[in-house]
Amino acid sequence: MQSVSSSCFADVLSEFIALTPREREALDALELRQRHVRRGAILQRENEPCGELFILRKGLMMSYVLLDDGSRQILRFLFPGDMLGISSAIYHEAPETLCALSDTVVCPFDRATLSGIMQEHPRLSAMILVYSQIERVALTDRLAALGRTSAKARVAALLLDLRNRLRATDKSIDRAFPLGLTQEEIGDATGLTAVHVNRMLRQLEEEGMIAREGGRVTLLDRGALAGAANYVNRYEGLDLRWLPPAR
């Protein structure tokens, strides 16, 4: 664990509002320490007491729950700049597991630091609420996908979402990106079996909507994919004019 300078979370917020120096300084407190987490390692386990929150600085993680028949539901993929474990912080025991999908770097901080920011910076409080609401809406989109769309649509939506979220931190990504997930993981995110995910990917490929080679996916026809998936990018279309003034 070593000390670092500027906040990754602040960079994400800067996409939407101009942070004041004081605000930026307060956010830096979230990322004073950093910890390396190897691929496959678990940062927080479901039903265990949860001490810390984290900012994900580098790499890809996921949150999931295990059902008592042993099956897994992946709730969310986590990208650099995401705040991890807010929902766990409000419970005595974590409602979900956090696990690294690649080698990652996270910055741990405690509830008191969050509490301090909420005391001193109403506009940052509001932005944290906004972020948790964006996540909420993204979850409802996935709920609708699992409840009411076909296997092909769910896989297409996942590919589009991955592409957009990767692009948020790496503007060089356009049509192609490294998948970084096994077909079993795609299945656990979309409520399908790995076998059926395979068939759906193949079908999307045969229909010319995507191409695959060596773990990389290319979205050949984003329009057609979006149509098949009725996908909405929830990081767009925000209205933040009502936020409290910066302090």
Partner DNA sequence: CGCAAATTTGAACGTAGTCAACAAGTGTGG
Partner DNA sequence: CCACACTTGTTGACTACGTTCAAATTTGCG
* Sole binder of DNA in the list 7, 44, 97, 183 (CB under 7 A): 183
> Is position 38 an interface residue for DNA (rule: CB under 7 A)?
no
Backbone angles phi, psi at 55, to 5 degrees: -110, 130
Place of tokens 């279309």: 237
Binding status of residue 137 toward a second copy by CB under 8 A:
yes
**Sequence-distant contacts of 234-237: CB under 8 A, at least 24 apart:** 234/134, 234/137, 234/138, 234/141, 235/134, 235/164, 235/168
Binds DNA by CB under 7 A, chosen from 16, 196, 218, 233: 196
C-alpha–C-alpha distance, residues 179 and 187, integer Å = 13
Residue 194 engages a second copy in binding (rule: CB under 8 A): no
CA 208 – CA 206 distance, rounded (Å): 5
On the 0-12 / 13-18 / 19+ scale of CB atoms within 10 A, 61 is buried
CA distance 29 to 6: 9
Among 21, 214, 223, 237, contact with a second copy (rule: CB under 8 A): 237
Does position 191 bind DNA by CB under 7 A? Answer: yes
Q: How many whole angstroms from its chain centre is CA 34?
A: 19
Which residues, numbered 142-161, are part of the site for DNA (CB under 7 A)? 150-152
Cα–Cα distances in angstroms (integers) from residue 124 to residues 28, 54, 219, in the given order: 13, 16, 36
Q: Does 230 bind a second copy (CB under 8 A)?
A: yes
State yes or no: residue 2 binds a second copy (CB under 8 A).
no
- 102 vs 193, which CB is nearer to a second copy? 193
| Partner whose footprint covers residue 201, from DNA, a second copy, none (CB < 5 to 8 Å by kind) | DNA
Distance between CA atoms of residues 112 and 109, nearest Å: 8
Residue 226 near residue 160 (C-beta atoms within 8 A):
yes
Distance, CA of 64 to chain centre: 12
Stretch that binds a second copy, among 7-15, 35-43, 141-149, 211-219 (CB under 8 A): 141-149
The yes or no reply on residue 22 touching a second copy (CB under 8 A) is no
Among 38, 140, 194, 215, binds a second copy (CB under 8 A): 140
Q: Does 102 bind DNA (CB under 7 A)?
A: no
Question: Would you state the structure tokens that stand for residue 42, as one six-digit string?
Answer: 């678990």
Choose, by CB under 8 A, the member of 17, 146, 179, 211 that binds a second copy. 146
Binding at 169: pick from DNA, a second copy, none (beta carbon under 5-8 Å per type): none
Regarding 140 and contact with DNA (CB under 7 A), the answer is no
- Contact flag: residue 34 with DNA (CB under 7 A): no
Give the binding range for DNA (CB under 7 A) out of 56-64, 101-109, 124-132, 211-219: 211-219
Where do contacts with DNA occur on this chain (CB under 7 A)?
A: 150-152, 182-184, 187, 191-196, 198-199, 201-202, 212, 214-215
